[in-house]
Chains A and B, each alone.
Chain A
Amino acid sequence: MEIDLDNAATTPIEPEVRSAMLPYLEQHFGNPSSRHPPGLLAAKALEQARATIARALGAGPEDVVFTSGGTEANNLAVLGLARARKRHGRHVLVGPTEHPSVREAAAALENEGFEVETLPLDATGGLDVERSAAALRPDTVLLALMLVNNEFGTVYPVARVARLARANAPSAWIHVDAIQALGKVPVSLAELGVSSLSLTAHKVHGPKGSGALVLAEGVRPLPLLLGGGQERGLRSGTENVAGIVGLARAVALAVQSQREAARSMHRLRSLLCEELSRWRGARVLDPGGKDAVSPAIAAVQLPGPPAEVWMHHLERRGIYTSAGSACHAKKRSVSSALLVLGLDAQEALHVLRFSFSRHTREEELRRALEVLKEVESELSARR
């Protein structure tokens, strides 16, 4: 039996999403830019998808830009928004534990003359809101903060920071990476009060290679891809029609099921934490406090050998998890987000991530806990 506890990496396609996509892979192959019936049909599917996503996330239908996934959406937001605001200032703020697609894009901005600053953490490992507020400036043009961290599940107070930013940095556009948040915590552009929001289909039971950047009214990044002017000139390239149809269905399902999914995943996470609280040397990471965490992710510092060894021992028994930091033959690649939290490189190597989906069943988790205990005794017997 295989039990997937690595849903923060990716998820299988929901049957309903698949059936929505199939007609666009088979008979409806038109190019949405063509002005004949097959093209018009494809264009109509795009517009429906746009409307579905806008409705689900509290945006206007004309404000959804389809991309090749989360990385492109984050790149478009960080590079495109900052560049578009250049005449208002050159100051950029990014969250303390952003995904590389935000971090690396921000680093690239430094080469264009922007000043990039990272928001500070407090003693618990959560965002230090007061000091973050102090970092806001009149010439701040972009603030990028993720809603849910992908490695340990911390939920950042995006709405609060956005309010502070509107007051203290009036020129700033605020981008939120909602990729790990969608379907796990409430996500609404309007309620968060942000300028843009990125998402990707494959983290919510949709297809890989399809994502979107959702924009608030009047927010317009400079495009990264130039060409035929698709997506109102914000993202040229023939649209991935089937992928977009799949994205829309997946997003709608994720938003619809969010409350119930959160409740069931919360239960799983509690069971896991409860078991590990009995282990010597094990610790669940909850930077920012127990209440500010996604129900879908549990990062656990395990005793004994590095997390990678645990991962392979579990995988051999059909249980899939993720060791974010790996020790390689010559170099150790350690997650920088874990280091930011104040873990040292040794500790970071011992962090194993469990992540759930709305389909993870309690009996699966219980079985996984049994196996985890087996592996523990196997690994410790040999020490």
Chain B
Amino acid sequence: MKPAAATGEVVVARYGELWLKGKNRHLFEERLRANARAALGGIARTRIERVQGGLVFAPEEPPDGHKRELVARRLQEVFGFSSISPARVARPEPDEIALVAGEVLAAALEERPRASPIRFRVETRRSDKTFPMISTELDRFVADRILGPHHERLKVDLSHPELVLGIHVHADQAWIFAERLPGAGGLPVGTVGRVAVLLSGGIDSPVAAWMSMKRGCEIVSVSFHSYPYVGASFLQKVERIVRRLARWQGPSVLYGVPFAEAQTAIRDRTREDYRTVLYRRMMQRIAAELAGREQATALVTGESLGQVASQTLENLTAIGAASTLPVLRPLIGFDKEETIALARRIGTYELSIEPEPDCCTVFLPRRPVIRGRIDVCEDEEAQLDVDALVTQAVAGAERKSIEPA
């Protein structure tokens, strides 16, 4: 293997369950590499190398700890990595390794409280088995060399360490690190397929979008607006949400679909208590149509079971029945609190709670049906020219490509 970095600083990102994928593995690896490169665009020019169980990112710049931190943090937003470590590089010789390990340890200790002794261990892995020491020997060798100046702050504890100094020894170099940042997990975006997400601007649907990206789907977003019953600024809000979500997949397509015509038709010609279910059936049809254009093969919604009146088992069934594509509901078993916690973590919560009326607030029925029936929906829809309304909405849809931010 070539030297990974002239600078002596790299970021090691380890695969998650990706390596399980047998024969398709190289496709996953390639996609992950491309996604990671896209995520790092604009931050640092980095060389990416494949090593066993992961990728190594070497910023092509003079040593710069700050840049390395930035790279590590961006990689935490790439699905497919289980953990990430900013690491120092040393020549694969015990003395050199111990020297660099001492510096890494000193830096790590600076960031920790001085109150009580920190439980500590060294943990070596060798992919180069010709190295003159076995792993446990190197553990002890390094620990003996570096503990001295810090013996008051450290207490060796092999089974419950708080601070692990990791050493990976390869044929031509070794990496030394004190941090293991959690990766985003999941599968590389785009390796599983493409889905169309019905994005409302609320708290739930962005989380559903994120969860489908996490499982390897590339998303296309479809958002419905009731202009001129609500303001055109609604779409700007949805754009901000998509821009945020695009951090996990790169440029992302958003369709803004005019929905006022369909809504007024439903309001004027069908029974009031079924309005919400009928709106949503109409949305599924339109979204499925747009999904087809984008080669997306499933719909994703933010629905979860029983959270609001429209989300009873009966209503979910009646709504889903209108889609020609399978409907995925990643939040189906979530409590609202769980969804909110996740929305905060991925940064869409703040965007979602901005007050902005959406199409769901227009012409709401006073008493929405709780147990909607498909046959009733179909009877009511016989009063409408469903195909024409779908065609009209699809024709009026605006397609945008949103860059990540």
Contacts and interface: CB of A to CB of B under 8 A. Distances in A.
Interface in B330-386: 353, 355-358, 360-361
Contact of A315 (B228, B355, B358): B228
Nearest to B354: A328
B228 A327 contact: no
B228 A328 contact: no
Contact of B355 (A305, A312, A313, A331): A331
A309 interface: yes
Contacts of B19: none
By size class, the interface of chain A is: 10 to 19
Given A312-B229, A329-B360, A329-B361, A382 B355 contact: no
B268 interface: yes
Contact of B356 (A305, A313, A316, A328): A328
A309 B361 CA distance: 12
Contact of A328 (B202, B264, B355): B355
B261 to A, nearest CB: 11
A305 B355 CA distance: 19
Contacts of B357: 308, 326-329
Given A329-B355, A330-B355, A382-B264, A308 B360 contact: no
Nearest to A310: B228
Contacts of B231: 308, 312
Given A382-B264, A382-B267, A382-B268, A329 B358 contact: yes
Nearest to A332: B355
B227 interface: yes
B355 A316 contact: no
A333 B357 CA distance: 11
B367 to A, nearest CB: 19
A315 B227 CA distance: 10
Interface string A314-339: 01100000000011111101000000
B268 A312 contact: no
B202 A329 contact: yes
Interface in B235-250: none
A175 to B, nearest CB: 32
Most central of B231, B353, B356, B361 by chain A CB within 10 Å? B231
B270 to A, nearest CB: 14
Contacts of B355: 326, 328-331, 333
A335 B231 CA distance: 18
A382 B362 CA distance: 13
B230 interface: yes
A313 B264 CA distance: 14
B317 to A, nearest CB: 26
B269 to A, nearest CB: 11
Interface string A271-310: 0000000000000000000000000000000000100110
A85 B314 CA distance: 68
B264 A329 contact: no
Contacts of B360: 329
Contacts of A328: 355-357, 361
A312 B227 contact: yes
A326 B357 CA distance: 9
Interface string B40-65: 00000000000000000000000000
A153 to B, nearest CB: 24
Nearest to B200: A329
Interface in B199-257: 201-202, 227-232
Contacts of B202: 329
Contacts of B353: 330
A305 B268 CA distance: 15
Contacts of A312: 227-232
A309 B356 contact: no
Given A327-B361, A329-B357, A309 B264 contact: no
A331 B357 CA distance: 9
Nearest to A379: B229
B142 to A, nearest CB: 56
A368 B221 CA distance: 37
A308 B230 CA distance: 7
Interface in A318-374: 326-331, 333
B99 to A, nearest CB: 51
Nearest to B229: A309
A331 B360 CA distance: 14
Contacts of A382: 264, 267-268
Nearest to B267: A382
B203 to A, nearest CB: 10
A328 B229 CA distance: 12
Given A329-B202, A382-B264, A309 B358 contact: no
A273 to B, nearest CB: 25
Contacts of B267: 382
Contacts of A333: 355
Contacts of A316: 227-228
Contacts of A313: 228
A350 to B, nearest CB: 15
A376 to B, nearest CB: 14
A200 to B, nearest CB: 24
Interface string B173-211: 000000000000000000000000000011000000000
Contacts of B358: 329
B300 to A, nearest CB: 21
5 contacts: A308-B230, A309-B229, A328-B357, A329-B201, A329-B202
Q: Which A-B residue pairs are the 8 nearest by beta carbons?
A: A312-B228, A328-B355, A316-B228, A313-B228, A329-B361, A309-B229, A328-B357, A329-B357
Interface of A: 305, 308-309, 312-313, 315-316, 326-331, 333, 382
Given A328-B361, A329-B201, 16 more contacts: A309-B228, A309-B229, A312-B227, A312-B232, A313-B228, A315-B228, A316-B227, A316-B228, A326-B357, A327-B361, A328-B357, A329-B361, A330-B355, A333-B355, A382-B264, A382-B268
